[in-house]
Structure 1
């Protein structure tokens, strides 16, 4: 279910041709640490801003590829990253080391064509968890875009353990409430009512070192992304967060819609180009 919805999101948002293509680009195969990634590199004289782009529970490189094709023509390099379900890395979204994502930042920071001071991250759904963890742990991330975000870390897809680890330890995470017969949205919603565990597993958003764009779905049938994005807004307002926070929301489901895709695509590209 989640895999289908995220593929729908990628297809609708990232194949819409809403912008003219000003930059040619080529794709470099990445050979760094154990990264499974492709670098979409625009042709330019000066060093480039770059974003690390990855998907959610569908795994593989599809979201990275779609983001590369969408963003690179606007003069921003894209490291399309797979973090599971690809050769040489985890097969499932379980116990993924956040160091893997930080190696992606290391790679971009060391690349001769990339400006190490202009690196961001773009992801969505389950991938928003990794995006927030990256941005709160690594000050080199200067801009964040997340669609249908979570405010907390969750357990993996096949294990009753955190989906994420850092320095060999589990990132505190929530598990789904109720049983598999219950509606998925209800399972997430009931889990989020455990205030103690929410506090333990909520990301330290105030540690993000740059502007944040969140795009949520008011009728999200997977998890309550609209309410979680509102909670993140409130959290940052209470802590007088110094960077701009934009929360765009649409009266759609988790995968958004063909009607909303052009505007969402435009807002993602605009945020990246103007904040990096």
Structure 2
């Protein structure tokens, strides 16, 4: 699966600056908990603050998390910027990533006296949306989700024809992107999504998410069909009478959005967490 540009584009989007109406001072500290690689962006506050776990997609590393830390923390919400591959001590590739790693991030936050463990959210994008959804499905301590250019299903790892994610030592089944030299990458994803029988085994059980969801999709996504997949998520949750609010915003841009749309999207993410945590 050739999706190396996915999170690089999103990192460019998130790393661009945003003005903060009321900026709160914050400190950044490197965390030391089990095998986690991350930094905690902690706003100054006399009371416990909500916190968001932020991690990227197929680019790996810390860039996405750090950009979200700088974006969200000035609004009085702590951010745990997390890497889960392509850092020292972590896997080199997005293959067989254990969900227990992300669950350990929640465990860590429960040890931090400055944050409120009853108000934990998660933000990610693109392939990272898969981990964000899986985390919220498997752990009810996640109370709010925001994902950009998300998927409605689990996909196999990008470098091997095998699972990208595991849980309790077992592979989480994912769709395989079919070969097709004459097809665009988006059309290959759409072809894989047409197989309804396969779809049932890899679709996220999003009715288990314990809080509101924000979806942000790109109408001219050149990497994968984030708009149709977001629309499918809406249908799925509506059919199951999901008890929490779901917001979907789409923009007439490519996968990495645009400088014109970036300020509104960033503010939507901030507002979502201010409202739901």
Structure 1-normalised TM-score?
0.97
Counterpart for residue 47 of structure 1: 48
Distance in 1 between residues matched to 2:87 and 2:151, nearest whole Å: 24
**1:199 and 2:204 aligned:** no
Aligned residues: 276
**1:32 and 2:33 aligned:** yes
Counterpart for residue 271 of structure 2: 270
TM-fit CA distance, 1:196: 1.0
- Structure 1 consecutive aligned stretches of length 4 or more whose deviation exceeds 6 Å: none
The 3 A distance-change label for structure 1 pair 199 and 25 is same
TM-fit CA distance, 1:199: 0.8
Counterpart for residue 209 of structure 2: 208
Contact 1:14 1:265 (8 Å CA) reproduced: no
**1:130 and 2:131 aligned:** yes
Distance in 2 between residues matched to 1:230 and 1:100, nearest whole Å: 29
- Determine helix, strand or coil for the equivalent of 2:174: coil
- Determine helix, strand or coil for the equivalent of 1:45: coil
Counterpart for residue 112 of structure 1: 113
**1:3-14 matched pairs, under 5 angstroms:** 3-14=4-15
Distance in 2 between residues matched to 1:226 and 1:246, nearest whole Å: 13
Gap regions ≥5 residues in structure 1: none
Counterpart for residue 75 of structure 2: 74
Counterpart for residue 99 of structure 2: 98
TM-fit CA distance, 1:181: 5.8
Structure 2-normalised TM-score?
0.97
Distance in 1 between residues matched to 2:133 and 2:47, nearest whole Å: 29
Contact 1:147 1:215 (8 Å CA) reproduced: yes
Contact 2:14 2:68 (8 Å CA) reproduced: no
TM-fit CA distance, 1:191: 0.7
